């Protein structure tokens, strides 16, 4: 039987998010029903709500950094039980039989992964709605175990910001002796610093503006380079094996390529769109690469959570009430958060019916 629950939804690209009642689909035999305790606020929530990527469906209940406890499980569920600490990230399904899924890369499913919100359930065609809500119903294969050592609220952004930076670090085999740089100190960037440092890399932050050195060092940076200073950029020429660019808007990537070592890679994880006047010459003359990376597969996301549990890594967060989500979006546009908003969903449970 479907359940009528409360959430917060956007109804247009320009409107405010407000209280919204909707029906969660009925649980199936392989489903886990989760009571949502915390939900992170991702920059992509803002992009989706405002239809920046052109595929928004309304009403939309955002949220794909979900932390909660299991309420009940279906008859075929073997991996979870009531009371377990669990997480749900950006995906709730994939075809699970294509070549990408076979490699554990469900995020690159050749038949299209099913996203946690603004997606379509492959079984019944219903809309998917995200974590700005009381409960969620998810196939057990896409539910993650949250280590007991992790603070639940600080773990929420790991389900997107954490895995988005962890996946390229693992793919390009970062470890002791690696030289890694991170462009931008925001929700993604601060996780990139923490994770790269925990992997044993030498870590550098590229920033356009001074004043972030103390915070960057606290988060794991060994060096801060002001990217608008030609002398500082020249001093790190040919240095980095991997650069993770977390900037979420159009910007000039050209200045960073000369700082790559021969064979190095600059990977884009923040900006989705065309680059203007990108010079491929510096790639060709150093066998350097410009690449992209999107979250991670389910097994890799679980690996990331376990790694964070072992190393005591959580996101730096500011906890908010769901009633303050519109103000949080405005602050997000100004980069006025260190470094990730997380909604305490108890504030929704306390709110009266619409």
CATH code for the domain of 54? 3.90.180.10
Domain contains 308: no
Kindly state the DSSP code that residue 120 receives in the 8-state scheme. B
177 & 217 share domain: yes
Same domain, residue pair 168 and 156? no
Domain with 134, as residue range(s), is: 3-160+316-349
Whether residues 91 and 194 share a domain: the answer is: no
Instruction: Flag whether 49 is in a domain.
Output: yes
CATH number at residue 247: 3.40.50.720
- Together in a domain, 132 and 218: no
Q: Please tell me whether residues 152 and 195 are part of one structural domain.
A: no
- pLDDT tens digits for 123-170? 999 999 999 999 999 999 999 999 999 999 999 999 999 999 999 999
Do 344 and 285 lie in a common domain?
no
CB atoms within 10 A of CB 104: 14
**285, 220: one domain:** yes
pLDDT single digits (tens) 36-55: 999 999 999 999 999 998 89
Mean pLDDT for the chain? 96
Is residue 262 one of the residues assigned to a domain? yes
- Residue 3's pLDDT is 82
Q: Please give the tally of structural domains in the chain.
A: 2
Long-range CB contacts (within 8 A, 24+) of 46-49: 46/329, 46/332, 46/333, 48/117, 48/118, 49/10, 49/13, 49/17, 49/329
Residue 138 shares a structural domain with residue 68: yes
Task: Give 167-220 pLDDT, tens digit per residue.
Answer: 999 999 999 999 999 999 999 999 999 999 999 999 999 999 888 899 999 999
Query: Are 112 and 174 contained in the same domain?
Result: no
21 & 125 share domain: yes
Whether the predicted model's global pTM rises above the 0.85 cut: yes
pLDDT-derived band at 229 (thresholds 50, 70, 90) equals very high
Mean pLDDT of 273-281: 92
């Amino acid at each position: 039987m479907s359940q009528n629950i409360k959430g917060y939804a956007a109804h247009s690209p320009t409107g405010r998010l407000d209280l919204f009642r909707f029906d969660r689909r009925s649980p199936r035999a392989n489903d886990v029903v989760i009571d949502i305790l915390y939900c992170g606020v991702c920059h992509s929530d803002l992009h989706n709500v405002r239809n920046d990527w052109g595929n928004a469906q309304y009403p939309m209940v955002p949220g794909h950094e979900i932390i909660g406890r299991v309420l009940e499980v279906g008859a075929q569920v073997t991996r979870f039980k009531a009371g377990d600490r669990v997480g749900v990230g950006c995906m709730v399904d994939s075809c699970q039989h294509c070549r990408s899924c076979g490699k554990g890369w469900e995020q690159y499913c050749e038949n299209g992964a099913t996203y946690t919100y603004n997606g379509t359930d492959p079984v019944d065609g219903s809309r998917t709605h995200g974590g700005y809500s009381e409960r969620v119903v998810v196939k057990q294969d896409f539910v993650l175990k949250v280590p007991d050592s992790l603070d639940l609220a600080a773990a929420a952004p790991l389900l997107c910001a954490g895995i988005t930076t962890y996946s390229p670090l693992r793919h390009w085999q970062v470890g002791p002796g690696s030289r890694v740089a991170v462009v931008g100190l925001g929700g993604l960037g601060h996780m990139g610093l923490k994770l790269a440092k925990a992997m044993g890399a030498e870590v550098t932050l590229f920033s356009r503006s001074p004043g972030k050195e103390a915070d960057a060092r606290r988060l794991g940076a060994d060096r801060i380079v002001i990217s608008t200073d030609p002398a500082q950029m020249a001093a790190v020429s040919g240095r980095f094996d991997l650069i993770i660019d977390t900037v979420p808007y159009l910007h000039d990537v050209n200045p960073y390529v000369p700082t790559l070592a021969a064979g190095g890679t600059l990977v884009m994880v923040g900006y989705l769109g065309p680059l203007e006047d990108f010079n491929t010459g510096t790639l060709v003359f150093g066998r350097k690469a410009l690449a992209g990376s999107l979250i991670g597969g389910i097994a890799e996301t679980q690996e990331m959570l376990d790694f964070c549990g072992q190393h005591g890594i959580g996101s730096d967060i500011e906890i908010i009430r769901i009633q303050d989500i519109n103000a949080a979006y405005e602050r997000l546009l100004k980069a006025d958060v260190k470094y990730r908003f997380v909604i305490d969903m108890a504030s929704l449970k306390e709110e009266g019916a619409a």
